[in-house]
Structure formats: structure tokens, C-alpha cells
Amino acid sequence: MNDDAPSATGIESGESKSSEEVLSLVYGELRKLAAAKMACEAPGHTLQPTALVHEAWLRLTGGGDKQWNNRKHFFGAAAEAMRRILVEHARRKKAERRGGKLQRVDLSEVEAITVEQPEVFLALDEALEKLASRDPKPAELAKMRYFTGLTTEEAARTLGVSVITAKRLWAYARAFLYQEMQAQLGS
């Protein structure tokens, strides 16, 4: 989402928008982000980008009008909603497998983690929760990177920090998550 996008200007200037207005402004961008996350999934995957965006939107609005204070508030909520949906999906997939073997996964690239690897995805969720309890800012940045597909620069703008700070937070978050996931997955 760039700074001059219609969705950013209204929200950043403090204009009061109904959930329908916000959705119409950001739907295309949310759809692109969800599609990018789902592109590496196996053909015939049961969760589609449109369904992910719609489910996240339903959770964000909760059946009523919500007011978004700013870009950070909106994308933070969207990232959290998408994360929870993907975690629930991974848990259902894992339950279906009944005792599948854990596998070692290289976490050098974020996009390598998919819902088709529910053990890894659940380990990521648990590690994110642990990071958030210790240091919320890197956890928030990691959620924005993993679940909304924002670049480091976009996440920096959204969080209101410098790009250098965002890069440091990102390096810390990745190292923390990698170490936690290795411990959880027994690698």
C-alpha cells in the first residue's frame, strides 16, 4: 500500500470511514496480498485468496462498523486476522493427517512456509506469540511481513519507524523465530 493510495489518505488524515468504505478502498490491495501468499500453495488448495480476504474482513468488522485510526491500526488488524485464519486452517489440516512426520525446513525465505506444512505453520504461530509477549514491535513487523506481504519499507511506514529500525527489527524477529521453531520442531 503506497502513501498516496486512496486507502491511506483517508485513514491517515483521520477521516471517519465506515467498514464498507474502507473495504472498497483497500480490497484490491488486500486481494493482491492474499493472492501472493497463496501462490505457492499446491494446486487444488481448499483456501483461496478471495476467501482469505473475505474471512479476514468478516473478522475485522465483526458484524458492525469499525473505525480505523490509521494505516498501522488497519494493517495490524488485517495481518492478525489473516494469521489466525491460516493457523486455524493449518490446525485442521494437521488434525486430518493424524500423526504425520515432522520435517526440517529452511526458514531463510518467509515464503517457504505454507499451510500445506501445518506443523511448521503452527510452530511459527507459537514462536510469534512468544516473541509478541517479549517484544511486541518486532512481532508486529513480522506479522505484517508474513501475513500481509508488506515489504520492510512498507512495514516501516505503517509502524512509523525508520527503514533502518525496521530492518533491525526484522533481523531480530527472523533470528528469534528461527531459533524458537528449531527448538519446537526438534531440528
Q: Report d(CA 129, CA 173) in Å as an integer.
A: 12
Torsion sign, CA atoms 128, 134, 138, 140: positive
Q: Report d(CA 11, CA 6) in Å as an integer.
A: 9
Number of domains in the chain: 1
pLDDT score at 125 = 87
Residue with cell 493472492: 35
Domain membership flag for residue 1: no
Q: Do 17 and 23 form a contact (C-beta atoms < 8 A)?
A: no
DSSP state for residue 116 in the 8-state scheme: T
Range of the domain at 100: 6-185
Name which residue leads in pLDDT, 32 or 160: 160
pLDDT score at 18 = 60
Domain membership flag for residue 87: yes
Domain membership flag for residue 85: yes
Q: Give 6-13's long-range contacts (Cβ < 8 A, gap of 24+).
A: 7/71, 7/74, 8/71, 11/68, 11/69, 11/70, 11/71, 11/73, 11/74, 12/70, 12/71
Domain membership flag for residue 133: yes
Domain membership flag for residue 34: yes
pLDDT tens-digit series, residues 86-142: 778 777 777 666 544 445 545 444 444 455 677 887 888 899 999 999 999 999 999
